[in-house]
Amino acid sequence: MQLITETNRNCPMLDIQLLRNQIDSVAARLATRGLVLDVAGFQALEDERKALQTRTQELQARRNALSKQIGMLKGKGEDATAVMAEVGQLGEELKACEQALPGLLERINDFASRLPNLPQADVPVGEDESGNVEVRRWGNPRQFDFELRDHVDLGAPLGLEFDTGARLSGSRFAFLRGPIARLHRALAQFMLDTHTLEHGYTECYTPYIVNREALYGTGQLPKFKEDLFWVLRGGDEEGLEQYLIPTAEITLTNSVREEVLTLDQLPIRLTAHSPCFRSEAGSGGRDVRGMIRQHQFDKVEMVQIVEPGKSDEALEQMVGHAEAILKKLELPYRVITLCTGDMGFSAARTYDLEVWLPAQNTYREISSCSNCEAFQARRMQARFKNAQGKNELVHTLNGSGLAVGRTLVAVLENHQQADGSILIPAALRPYMGGVERIEAPL
RNA sequence: GGAGAGGUGGCAGAGUGGUCGAAUGUACCUGACUCGAAAUCAGGCGUAGGUGCGAGCCUACCGUGGGUUCGAAUCCCACCCUCUCCGCCA
């Protein structure tokens, strides 16, 4: 019998020992995320598990010992029927135990798999985004001496077509044509080059369709299936379920899944430009106008795989890498620390970068950088051999650097001119064939 | 899609249904030798879980899931994946 089944082979996100031994402390920390942990329910399951597992193992030990005896007796040519009768008596209870245990373990695992990561101790406690704390600002929002337009109005004559997208695919899809399509491509290229040439990341091109295990590893499954698009292979409608990636974090982070890395391989810094697919199931009528919230958008993602002692430092660096893009693009932004109630499932600490959008007269999220500590590594079984030669879980971090669609929006709105043209920031011009401004084709 | 081969420890690679959790090599750790290192020699060295103050004892794990058996890495069934060749295809 196997205690580790397919579904629980990936350990729950929280250390199961922590749950067993310090459940009250875990409950208190999760409470800051607005989550009520069913301590009594968990402990009832645990008590049951402990009794059943102990009994199962007792019976197995007995069976193994007797079977070994049978082997020895038969080897010597002696009669083993008495021992075989004895082991036969164990059969029924053992079978019952072995059948009951996996289901119980599965329930415990499912319970634990749906618990989010524990916030770091100094993360501000808050219920929602109102509890987030601003860390710093960069740049001054521009004063306009003409009536400013939003990116939808600015983009329309430049090739930003929402009606075409809707006709092809439905709402929340955009079709880009001409100068705006080129600007979109230039932004992604510029970001990739900056991260690879200046920040030490290795460029990657990754699959956009992944299996369930990968999404479990980074924490999107089992809890957030409704946020994803899932796909089936043609001619194989009964077949394996796979998913479109909601971010390249999935593929970059899972690239070390089930690996035991050596110390000298760390840190690993990866970046990729990819489309991201999100069903936006829970977003209701939010941001229906424009390309702020799309089912498909491009993003340049940064991922770091580091030693546990170095992840805090790595997060600060990674935020700096994302900020560098905004600075080069001359886009005002602010950095905020997400409070406990606003953090994502896998994160122990998250900084959001919010770019100034003049037409909305506010800062909007354009990057999110998180330290997931060992949470994802535990689910992925991504480890390294530490200095003591022991396998230890790595720490994983991910951050957008940046969301390309929203960056496009920010460039349009912040660098718009009175005549509706867009001034291209100097850093981006080499990627635009030297063009200094884009304007509607005649 | 067709035909074949194969999935075993960090890696490589053995394994007649019965002390096989698994030979061997390599990597790694410790010790000896050395001024130091290399080489050499000796020892150690998988993961997870249970139980115990502890040395330890026990259970599970040889791609995944099921089956046969007193007993499965080994036999049977299904599935997944990888590789080679053919076909199709951007």
How does pLDDT run across A109-157, given as a tens digit for each residue?
A: 888 888 999 999 999 999 999 999 999 999 999 999 999 999 999 999 9
CA of A176 to C1' of B46 (A): 53
Please state, rounded to an integer, the average pLDDT across all residues of chain A.
89
Nucleotides of B under 7 A from a protein CB: 1, 10, 18-19, 28-29, 44, 46-51, 58-61, 64-66, 70-71, 80-81
Nearest nucleotide (C1') to alpha carbon of A381: B47
> Straight-line distance from CA A401 to C1' B38, in Å?
47
Q: What is the pLDDT of residue A235?
A: 58
* Active-site annotation holds for A93: no
> Is A278 noted as a catalytic residue in this protein?
yes
Q: Which nucleotide is at minimal CA–C1' distance from A84?
A: B70
Mean pLDDT in residue range A97-111? 84
Q: Which residue is nearest to nucleotide B29 (CA to C1')?
A: A389
Q: In the Cβ-directed half-sphere of A295, how many Cα atoms lie within 13 Å?
A: 19
The tens digit of pLDDT for each residue in A396-440 reads: 999 999 999 999 999 999 999 999 999 999 999 999 999 999 998
pLDDT band at A284 (very low <50, low <70, confident <90, very high): confident
CA distance A270 to A278: 22
Mean pLDDT lowest for which of A27-36, A40-49, A418-427? A40-49
As a rounded value in angstroms, the CA-to-C1' distance for A110 and B84 is 41
Angle of CA points A142, A360, A353, to nearest 5°: 75
The pLDDT assigned to A182 comes to 96
Question: What integer pLDDT is reported at residue A18 of this predicted model?
Answer: 84
C1' of B88 to CA of A208 (Å)? 23
Active site residue A182: no
Closest nucleotide to A393's CA, by C1' atom?
A: B47
Q: Is A67 part of the annotated catalytic residue set? A: no
- Give the sign of the dihedral formed by CA A211, CA A347, CA A33, CA A380: positive
For residue A236, the model assigns a pLDDT of 57
- Range A170-188 average pLDDT: 95
pLDDT band at A442 (very low <50, low <70, confident <90, very high): low
Nucleotide nearest to A392 (CA to C1'): B47
Whether residue A297 is predicted with pLDDT greater than 60 in this model: the reply is yes
Instruction: Tell me the pLDDT band of A10, cut-offs 50, 70 and 90.
Output: very low
- Rounded to an integer, the average pLDDT of A340-352 is 96
Q: Which residue is it, tokens 């996996």? A: A102
Residue type, A349: R
How many angstroms separate the CA of A427 from the C1' of B60? 58
Through-space separation of residue A261 CA and nucleotide B52 C1' in angstroms: 34
Q: What pLDDT shows up at residue A211?
A: 86
Look up residue A282 and give its two tokens.
């829970």
Question: Which among A49, A142, A293, A437 is annotated as catalytic?
Answer: A293
User: How high is the pLDDT of residue A194?
Assistant: 98
Predicted TM-score (pTM) of this structure: 0.91
Residue A116 pLDDT: 92
Q: Which long-range contacts (CB under 8 A, 24 or more apart) does A18-26 make?
A: A19/A112, A19/A115, A20/A46, A26/A118
Q: Indicate whether A32 pLDDT > 50.
A: yes
Q: Is A49 a catalytic residue?
A: no
For A385-395, the pLDDT digits (tens) are 887 777 888 99
Confidence of residue A240 (pLDDT cuts 50, 70, 90): low
Residue of A48, A86, A330, A365 marked active site: A365
What pLDDT is stored for residue A179 in this prediction?
A: 94
Long-range contacts of residues A432-436, Cβ cutoff 8 Å, at least 24 apart: A432/A182, A432/A183, A432/A186
Nucleotide nearest to A11 (CA to C1'): B48
